[in-house]
A and B are shown apart, each in its own frame.
Chain A
Amino acid sequence: MANPHPGSPLSPEEISRPTPQAGMSGLVNDWAAERRVFDMPWGKTMMWLFILSDVFIFACFLVGYMVLRISTVEPWPDASEVFALTVAGQSIPLLLIAIMTFILISSSGTMALAVKYGYAKDRRRTAALLLITALLGAVFVGMQAFEWTILIGEGVRPWENPWGAAQFGAVFFLITGFHGTHVTIGVIFIVIMAVKVMRGSLEGSRPGFLTGRKGNYGMIESLGLYWHFVDLVWVFIFAFFYLW
């Protein structure tokens, strides 16, 4: 159960740390001993806590969506029909959403591999995988913009739509918009990280221009956690908003 991802060079504290115990006694020991609780680079702990807070934000949106959908007396628009695409004269339900889902899962896979090759100090592969991840993320956002354009063209507004309950538009724009914003921010940071990897900033422990933090390959793992979280949120949106 030891941390297999050494992100930063060993500090004196880590060298003197006793071999961590596994399981429940290890949990008690981590919290009771007079030292850092989490045996990982601080940046990764902070990313996990940020993700935890973001989980609560998205959960509040989804619970709000549930309340609106349960309590409305109007019929809720049928997502299968609303998000159908017509290809070669045939209407295929949820086609665009299915493609977007596959693109985001693919990008999560390339991100996981980028983290792996980062720790292996394979700069070329890491940078390439990060750029592929960013590209897939950008395609996802582009398809979302396309979807929004279609729906706006069909008359969907946050306060009305042609098919049923007026709350549909408000929920759709809020939830997919907030998720799309997360993807966009992720793409920007992944591109920045790819540049850092390519010029060797992580290996050379070069300080970043904004925060001055010294570069290390643990940063890719923290960024990867964020990206997988964005994918994770999409899993829930896909199930609750599009399929339910």
Chain B
Amino acid sequence: MDQGSHQQPALRVYLRVWIWLFVLSVLSYLVDLSGLEGLPKWGLITLFMLLKAGLIVAFFMHMAWERLSIVYTVLVPPAVLLFLAALMALEADYTLTSRLGIFTN
């Protein structure tokens, strides 16, 4: 994009991002309507979600024009949340196995 410029991003940049956000929202809604199941459904939902998040952060929140020092400060720490989510998924799976094995039947 217009990196290095001291201007505000052009109006059409915002309008284009806006339209893409609408399109991606419609697409993720269509995934729900289409009755897809399993991996294709989750994969598409996650893909559209990440694309929307990326557009909002990069253009509406101006990250595409910021210096790396703030970009890394904001974007690197949330990466550890993926680690938390992975640990908790393992833990939850163990809880489910225990419940099924010990408390039901």
Contacts and interface: CB of A to CB of B under 8 A. Distances in A.
Interface of A: 1-6, 20, 22-24, 26-27, 30-31, 37-40, 45, 48-49, 51-52, 55-56, 59, 63, 66-68, 70-73, 80, 93-94, 98, 101-102, 105-106, 108-109, 111-113, 116, 119-120, 221, 224-225, 228-229, 231-232, 235-236, 238-240, 242-244
Interface in B27-73: 28-29, 31-33, 42, 45-46, 48-49, 52-53, 56-57, 59-62, 65-70, 72-73
Interface of B: 3-9, 11, 14-15, 17-18, 21-22, 25, 28-29, 31-33, 42, 45-46, 48-49, 52-53, 56-57, 59-62, 65-70, 72-74, 77-78, 81, 84-85, 88-89, 91-93, 95-96, 99-100, 103-104
Determine the main DSSP class of B at the interface with A.
helix
A243 B14 contact: no
Given A27-B67, A231-B56, A116 B11 contact: yes
Given A56-B81, A116-B9, A235-B56, A26 B74 contact: no
B56 A228 contact: yes
10 contacts: A3-B65, A5-B8, A5-B62, A31-B69, A40-B70, A52-B73, A101-B25, A109-B15, A116-B8, A120-B8
B14 A109 contact: yes
Contact of A48 (B29, B59, B70): B70
